[in-house]
Amino acid sequence: MSAAHEPIEETSGPKIVAEHTSSAGKVVRSVQVMRPTAADSTFLVASAQGFAVTLKHFAKNLFLPLRKKAARAQPGAPGDLSWINEIETVQYPEEKVTYPERFRGLHRLMLREDGAVRCVACMCCPTACPAHCITIIPEESDSKGIEKRPAVFEIDELRCVVCGLCVEACPCDAIRMDTGIHAGPVEDRGDAVETKESMMNRGIKSIAKQGGAGPNWREIK
Amino acid sequence: MRTSLVARIAVVLCFLVACGGGGDPASVKAVDCGANGDKLPALNVGETGFGRTALVVHPGDLVKVTTGDVAVQPGHRDADQTIAAPALAVAAGIKCFAFGATGEYGVHTASGFDATVYVRSSLSQTIFGILDFAAIKWVFLVLILVMPLASLLTWAERRQSAMMQDRLGPNRANIGPIKLKGILHFVADALKMIFKEDFIPANVHKGLFALAPLIAIAPVLIAFCIIPFGPTVYPHMVTHVMPTTPDAAQLADSIRMQIFSIDFGLLFYFAVLTLANYGGLIAGWASYNKWALLGGMRSSSQMMSYEVAMGLSLVGVFLICGTLEPGAIVLHGASETMSAANPLNWLWLWQPVGLVLFFTAAIAETKRAPFDIPEGEPEIIGYFVEYSGMRWGIFFLAEFIEVVFIAAVVTTVFFGGWQVPFLEPDGFHGFGGMLHLPHGVVAALQFGAFGLKVVLLCWFQLMVRWTLPRFRADQLMNLGWKVLLPTALGWIMFTALIKLIFMA
């Protein structure tokens, strides 16, 4: 190995090899300056090593077949990887990676048995929201035993930071982010605001106990 | 000079050095028609055939043949034998056609010359003469071969870099279902650049700003004139096996696959490509931008530093070959006793240091990584920072054409040019046997071999560009002045010494 591959601290600055005090009382330090060797200054050896690496990758990726689509889309795919190339690219529109279970997509508003919105406009989610992207205007609710409901429930997806705190804050299982849908492209900023209706369209009936049932509410059947 | 009513009159003025064993003067018809306009006896050979007569001509003689165009074949092909100087012939109102690939013209003043005059149909001469015309060859080479190759390199570079980095690269440009691995990206790129806004900032020098891209690209296109991109093609022999000593009639027409065969060929390349330097400098200066100006300065300082080493690295080649003419280097190689088609005779074996030096300096001349401090695409601002649209595209294209050109020069000088290993004019020789091939097949193979070598060297330049990190400015200057230059000088001394001892 040449000097260029030695530990960083040796090449990062002059190395003090001796230190003594001169007759004038000054401290004299002898330093060893790391200069490239003659072999290194031609760059030939290092270049050849570099070519070996890139050529290996190039040849492997050129001549060996692509990993199967499904296998390429999932990290840690099983199978013998020695005969395929190392290209990791996912051809997006045709292939999609499988998202993890807890992926946070577009919001949705859950529904009650009668199809009404579960949200009781308790204002927990806009309070928790760090981006202040949730707007709720409450109104009187007709349902028995429920005080309020949202007249307006809007989330500005352009401001949303997809942190999921609104879901965590909700005591009613009224808002979820488990749709797996990306926020779509819009031509107007106003189009990026999700309304109560659009989020309810994605909603399903929740059987969670109104008012919350502890940390394991998702598993209650 | 009188004109004939029935056919074109072509007159050949030939000067031929009488260098040992010329024709028997008694057997030729000596015509001294320069002063009094005597006519040579008419040769009647029909429209397509070849007729011949022999005569001795003297400097200043006019030989006039009325049935068609005339070609002159020297009696011998010794090294110092020359064919009439076309410039002189043209000046005298005479058309002259030179045979063969020697391409050595000169005016000689020896008293007597012998030559054989062949007369042939003017029709075939016209077609092949047009094909042999420099502008036609330039269009063929530069516009049909080099420009598409350079354009494809823009795609190839991104695909290849992707392959080296475990990516796929651009593979989606398509015409309907035709994807071709994204090869059409270069068309899409060109369309994009043509339709982009051609923005000219305030306060730029508009004239020079517009001129700079042209200055950058023109020298590269001109420099291709010296590259022999194929063997000399003899149209009459395309379907026949070339004999060892071809008859002059068989070689009556020739298309030389080299635009200019000039004695100072490689010097021409150095001289012309230096002009491209002004493109970068003027672009930086005319842009009214300090950073562009600094980029232009870096560009010119780098070009100047590396041109010294680049020129000197080829001096060993000149010493060995005794010529600067690329066509002659391809034909002769390092040794005159070995066949030029033998890969061991190519100069990569005899000038390995020259090869490395030249290739390094040439890559520095293209201003691509690892020598891309003049532009430094992602980080430092280069001399064409103010350019957009197709003006910028021309700089980009010039860079890639230069890549092709460097590959062509290295192929020509160090890797036997268009020579196919062991392929002689009449077929493959070697391993104790031989395989006869018609001249057309041989020429096609040799033409393809040149293309293949150029493509491989382009590939290698892309490898270099995507493997090595960029040099710092001080490393660049150190490498140029303290490593390449002394090594080149030492290699010249070494080569000269070897030549003095073993080849003198």
What ipTM was reported for this prediction?
0.73
Task: Kindly identify which residue of chain A lies nearest to residue B471, measuring between CA atoms.
Answer: A43
Mean pLDDT of all residues belonging to chain B: 76
Min distance B469 CA to chain A CA atoms (Å): 10
pLDDT of residue A101: 84
Question: Which residues, at least 6 apart from B93, have a Cβ–Cβ distance to it below 8 Å?
Answer: B1, B11
DSSP state of B199: -
Task: Kindly identify which residue of chain B lies nearest to residue A52, measuring between CA atoms.
Answer: B467
Mean pLDDT of all residues belonging to chain A: 82
Asked if A58 lies within 8 A of B164 by C-beta distance, the reply is yes
Asked if B478 lies within 8 A of A41 by C-beta distance, the reply is yes
Asked if A41 lies within 8 A of B164 by C-beta distance, the reply is no
Q: How far apart are CA B496 and CA B504, in angstroms?
A: 10
Q: Does B466 touch chain A (CB under 8 A)?
A: yes
8 A C-beta contact, residue B254 and residue B232:
yes
pLDDT 10s digits, A24-80: 888 888 887 777 777 777 788 889 999 999 999 999 888 887 766 555 555 555 555
- Alpha carbon B325 to its chain centroid, in Å, reads 9
Residues found in chain A:
221
Residue scoring higher pLDDT (B26 or A112)? A112
Chain B partners within 8 Å of A53 (Cβ) = 467
Residues found in chain B:
504
B83-109 mean pLDDT: 30
Strand partners, B424: B427
In the numeric block, which tokens belong to residue B334? 């390092």
Question: Which residues, at least 6 apart from B450, have a Cβ–Cβ distance to it below 8 Å?
Answer: B229, B230, B408, B411, B417, B418
Q: Which residues of A touch B (CB under 8 A)?
A: 41-44, 47, 50-51, 53-55, 57-58, 61-62, 85-89, 91
Min distance B397 CA to chain A CA atoms (Å): 25
- Model confidence at B39: pLDDT above 80: no
Ramachandran class of B323: left when φ > 0, alpha when ψ lies in -120 to 50, beta otherwise: beta
Q: How far is CA B391 from CA B220, B283, B299, in A?
A: 16, 10, 18
8 A C-beta contact, residue B371 and residue B364:
yes
DSSP state of B5: S
Query: 3-state secondary structure string, chain A?
Result: CCHHHCCHHHHCCCEEEEEEECCCCCEEEEEECCCCCHHHHCCHHHHHHHHHHHHHHHHHHHHCCCCCHHHHHCCCCCCCCCCCCCCCCCCCCCCCCCCCCCCCCCCEECECCCCCECCCCCCHHHHHCCCCCEEEEEEECCCCCCCEEEEEEEEECCCCCCCCHHHHHCCCCCEECCCCCCCCCCCCHHHHEECHHHHHHCCCECCCCCCCCCCCHHHCC
List, as own/partner pairs, every contact residues A175-178 make where C-beta atoms lie below 8 angstroms and the sequence separation is at least 24, other chains included: A175/A107, A175/A108, A175/A109, A175/A110, A175/A119, A175/A125, A175/A199, A176/A107, A176/A108, A176/A110, A177/A104, A177/A105, A177/A106, A177/A107, A177/A108, A178/A104, A178/A105, A178/A108
Chain A partners within 8 Å of B466 (Cβ) = 54
Q: Does B467 touch chain A (CB under 8 A)?
A: yes
pLDDT of residue B220: 92
Q: How far is CA B145 from CA B230, B260, B448, B460, in A?
A: 12, 17, 12, 19
Question: Which residues, at least 6 apart from B286, have a Cβ–Cβ distance to it below 8 Å?
Answer: B204, B205, B207, B208, B209, B211, B212
Buried residues in B89-126 as b, exposed as e (16+ CB within 10 A): beeeebbbbbbbbbbbbeebeeeebbbbbbbbbbebbe
Q: How far apart are CA B478 and CA B482, in angstroms?
A: 5
DSSP state of B101: S
Residue A203 backbone phi and psi in degrees, to 5? -80, 155
pLDDT 10s digits, B143-202: 999 999 999 999 999 999 999 999 889 988 888 888 888 899 999 999 999 999 999 999
In the numeric block, which tokens belong to residue A12? 């990062």
Q: Residues 343 to 402 of B: which have CB under 8 A from any A CB? A: 356
Q: Give the strand order in the sheet containing B427-430.
A: B423-424, B427-430, B433-436
Chain B partners within 8 Å of A67 (Cβ) = none
pLDDT 10s digits, B360-398: 999 999 988 889 888 877 788 889 899 999 999 999 999
Q: Which of B164, B167, B356 sits opposite A54 (nearest CB)?
A: B164
Strand A175-176 relative to strand B427-430, pairing: unpaired
Number of H helices, E strands in chain B: 16, 9
Chain B partners within 8 Å of A65 (Cβ) = none
8 A C-beta contact, residue A157 and residue A192:
yes
pLDDT of residue A113: 82
- Alpha carbon B477 to its chain centroid, in Å, reads 30
Residue B194 backbone phi and psi in degrees, to 5? -70, -35
Q: How far apart are CA B434 and CA B241, in angstroms?
A: 13
Asked if A53 lies within 8 A of B166 by C-beta distance, the reply is no
Interface test with A, best of B157, B160, B164 (most A CBs within 10 A): B164
Closest alpha carbon to A46 in A58, A59, A37:
A37
Q: How far apart are CA B403 and CA B382, in angstroms?
A: 19
- Model confidence at B104: pLDDT above 70: no
B24-44 mean pLDDT: 32
- Alpha-helical (H) ranges within B111-200 are 122-131, 134-138, 147-164, 185-195
Q: Which of B160, B166, B479 sits opposite A87 (nearest CB)?
A: B166
- Alpha carbon A104 to its chain centroid, in Å, reads 10
Q: Which of B166, B466, B479 sits opposite A61 (nearest CB)?
A: B166
Interface test with B, best of A54, A57, A66, A69 (most B CBs within 10 A): A54
Residue B407 backbone phi and psi in degrees, to 5? -60, -40
Q: How far apart are CA A196 and CA A201, in angstroms?
A: 9
Asked if A58 lies within 8 A of B468 by C-beta distance, the reply is no
Ranges in chain A, pLDDT < 70:
1-13, 67-83, 208-221
Q: What is the CA radius of gyration of chain A?
A: 31
Q: Does B462 touch chain A (CB under 8 A)?
A: no
In the numeric block, which tokens belong to residue B461? 């330049």
8 A C-beta contact, residue A135 and residue A154:
yes
Task: Kindly identify which residue of chain A lies nearest to residue B475, measuring between CA atoms.
Answer: A41
Residue scoring higher pLDDT (B260 or B431)? B260
Q: How far apart are CA B200 and CA B210, in angstroms?
A: 9
Asked if B167 lies within 8 A of A88 by C-beta distance, the reply is yes
Min distance A13 CA to chain B CA atoms (Å): 17
Closest alpha carbon to B111 in B41, B30, B39:
B30
- Tracing tokens 């990062």 back to the chain, one arrives at A12
Helices B290-313 and B485-498, axial angle in degrees (round to 10): 10
Chain B partners within 8 Å of A89 (Cβ) = 167-168
Chain B partners within 8 Å of A54 (Cβ) = 164, 463, 466-467
Interface test with A, best of B456, B468, B485, B491 (most A CBs within 10 A): B468
Interface test with A, best of B166, B181, B478 (most A CBs within 10 A): B166
pLDDT 10s digits, B280-331: 999 999 999 999 999 999 999 999 999 999 999 999 999 998 889 999 899 8
Min distance B171 CA to chain A CA atoms (Å): 10
- Model confidence at B22: pLDDT above 70: no
Q: How far apart are CA B245 and CA A88, in angstroms?
A: 60
Interface test with A, best of B160, B168, B491 (most A CBs within 10 A): B168
Q: Which of B356, B466, B483 sits opposite A41 (nearest CB)?
A: B483
Task: Kindly identify which residue of chain B lies nearest to residue A63, measuring between CA atoms.
Answer: B163
B340-357 mean pLDDT: 91
Buried residues in B42-52 as b, exposed as e (16+ CB within 10 A): ebebeeeebbe
Q: How far apart are CA A71 and CA A67, in angstroms?
A: 6
Min distance A118 CA to chain B CA atoms (Å): 46
